[in-house]
Chains A and B, each alone.
Chain A
Amino acid sequence: MQRAPLLIAAALCLSAGAATQAAPAPLAAEKLTVETLPPQSPHWVYVFDAAFDNEIDQRVHLYDGDSYRRLGQIDAGFTPGFNLSPDGTKSVIATTYYSRGSRGTRTDVVEFTDNTTLAPAGEIVLPNKRVMTSPNIFSVAYSADGHFVYAAYVTPAASFGVLDPVQKKVLGEIDTAGCVLVIPSGPNRVSSLCESGRLLTVTLTNDGHESARAMSEPFFDADKDPVFVQGIPTDQGYVFLSFLGEVHAIDFSGAQPVFAPVWSLVSAEEKGHWRPGAEQVGALHRKLGRLYVPMHAGGEGTHKDGGTEIWVFDMATHKRLARWPVHAGGLANVMAIQVSQDAAPIVFAATATADVAVMDALTGHVKHIEKHLGQTPWMMLNP
Chain B
Amino acid sequence: MRSLDQIFEHSSRSLAQRTSRRSLLASLGQLLTGAALLPLLPIDRAGRAYAAEGKAKADSPQSCEYWKYCAIDGFLCSCCGGTSSSCPPGAAPSPITWIGTCHNPGDGRDYIVSYNDCCGKTSCGNCECNRNEREKPMYRPSRNNDLNWCMANADSNYHCSVSVILGVAEK
Contact = CB atoms under 8 A, between A and B. Distances in A.
Contacts of B50: 304-306, 333, 352
A195 B13 contact: yes
Given A78-B157, A229-B139, A194 B134 contact: no
Nearest to A103: B155
Q: Is the interface of A mostly helix, strand, loop or mixed?
A: loop
Given A96-B156, A103-B155, A155-B152, A52 B123 contact: yes
A134 B47 contact: yes
A134 to B, nearest CB: 4
A154 B138 contact: yes
Interface stretch (A15-23, A156-164, A316-324): A156-164
B151 A195 contact: no
A119 interface: no
Interface residues of B, number: 52
Residues of B contacting A: mostly: loop
A278 interface: yes
A219 interface: no
Nearest to A336: B49
B148 A306 contact: no
Given A103-B121, A132-B156, A193-B139, A55 B151 contact: no
Interface in B3-56: 12-13, 15-21, 24-25, 28, 41-42, 45-51
B160 to A, nearest CB: 12
B128 A52 contact: yes
B71 interface: yes
A143 interface: no
Contact of B137 (A106, A229, A279): A229
Contacts of B140: 195, 222, 226
B125 A132 contact: no
Q: How large is the interface on A (under 10, 10 to 19, 20 to 34, 35 or more residues)?
A: 35 or more
B146 interface: yes
Interface in A228-270: 228-229
Interface stretch (A38-46, A176-184, A360-368): A176-184
Contacts of A333: 50
B147 A154 contact: yes
Contacts of B146: 133-134
A156 B155 contact: no
Contacts of A181: 138-139
21 contacts: A52-B48, A56-B123, A102-B121, A102-B122, A133-B147, A133-B148, A134-B47, A156-B42, A157-B24, A157-B28, A175-B20, A176-B21, A178-B12, A178-B13, A178-B24, A179-B139, A181-B138, A194-B17, A222-B140, A228-B137, A306-B49
10 smallest A-B Cβ distances: which pairs?
Answer: A178-B16, A304-B49, A132-B148, A301-B133, A102-B122, A53-B125, A175-B21, A134-B146, A193-B139, A301-B132
Given A56-B122, A133-B147, 8 more contacts: A52-B128, A103-B120, A131-B147, A132-B150, A196-B17, A301-B70, A304-B50, A305-B49
Interface of B: 12-13, 15-21, 24-25, 28, 41-42, 45-51, 70-71, 96, 120-123, 125, 128, 130-141, 146-148, 150-152, 155-158
